[in-house]
Amino acid sequence: MTQILMIEDDAQYASLLTDYLKQYNIEVTNYEDPFLGLSAGIEKYDLLILDLTLPGIDGLEVCKEVVSKYDIPIIISSARSDLSDKVIGLQLGADDYLPKPYDPQEMYARIISLLRRYKKIATVEETHEKITLDAGKETVYLHGEVLDLTPAEYVVMKLFIQNRGATVSKEQILYDSDVFQFSSDGSLAVILNRLRKKLGREVELKTIRGVGYRLLS
């Protein structure tokens, strides 16, 4: 399960996002007090969502401290409209900036895209039972044999494997920078159908109606 640390003093906002992300096997722990958030064991989390307007300390200072001590992706989420806040936040080391109000679907897509980029930094091998991903070689194996995939099929398959046990939304696939070529539902549907044929009967790409797709085996 993906673990996200959120430092946000708007409890209602945090609750809405927390409830939304549960369906994707993402657990959010929110701290309204930034000082408690900074002492929460940041290294155990996969990503930080950080508000800027916080009690007792400015969010940019929190960002600066986190970047100086931890290697964790940071998404700044703020209602402050000053362009300089965005520029400074990114210069300090934040990875993304999403102004409020935002749609939880967009935040979810940004979270997954950012985690994917961080995973790309290192060569990792991930397994989903009969499926093996060698990210360094950009290769997927089925029962130890190379699965013949097009570049677009590989990107989609990689997302499914990296999010094993969770549902991957259509928005997440379309938002991913490598798959902007999928500009319509039809083209994505074609890729999914091709993947299903190549995976055979033992591995299923299940459609979760109204939510997305999940890799099962």
Whole-number average pLDDT of the chain: 85
CATH number for the domain running over 2-117? 3.40.50.2300
Would you say residue 45 has pLDDT above 90? yes
CATH number for the domain running over 122-216? 1.10.10.10
Would you say residue 72 has pLDDT above 80? yes
Per-domain boundaries in the chain: 2-117, 122-216
pLDDT of residue 177: 43
Query: In which band, very low, low, confident or very high, does the pLDDT at 127 lie, cut at 50, 70 and 90?
Result: very low
Give 114: exposed, middle or buried? Use CB within 10 Å, 0-12, 13-18, 19+.
middle
Least confident of 43-47, 122-126, 151-155, 191-195: 122-126
Q: Is the pTM of this model over 0.85?
A: no
* pLDDT single digits (tens) 133-179: 877 778 888 887 889 998 888 888 888 887 776 788 888 887 764 55
pLDDT of residue 188: 83
HEC per residue, the chain: CEEEEEECCCHHHHHHHHHHHHCCCEEEEEECCHHHHHCCCHHHCCEEEECCCCCCCCHHHHHHHHHHHCCCCEEEEECCCCHHHHHHHHHHCCCEEEECCCCHHHHHHHHHHHHHHHHHHCCCEEEECCEEEECCCCEEEECCEECCCCHHHHHHHHHHHHCCCCCECHHHHHHCHHHCCCCCHHHHHHHHHHHHHHHCCCCEEEEECCCEEEEEC
Query: In which band, very low, low, confident or very high, does the pLDDT at 217 lie, cut at 50, 70 and 90?
Result: low
The tokens for 50 are 């950080």
- Identify the residue with better confidence: 112 or 51: 51
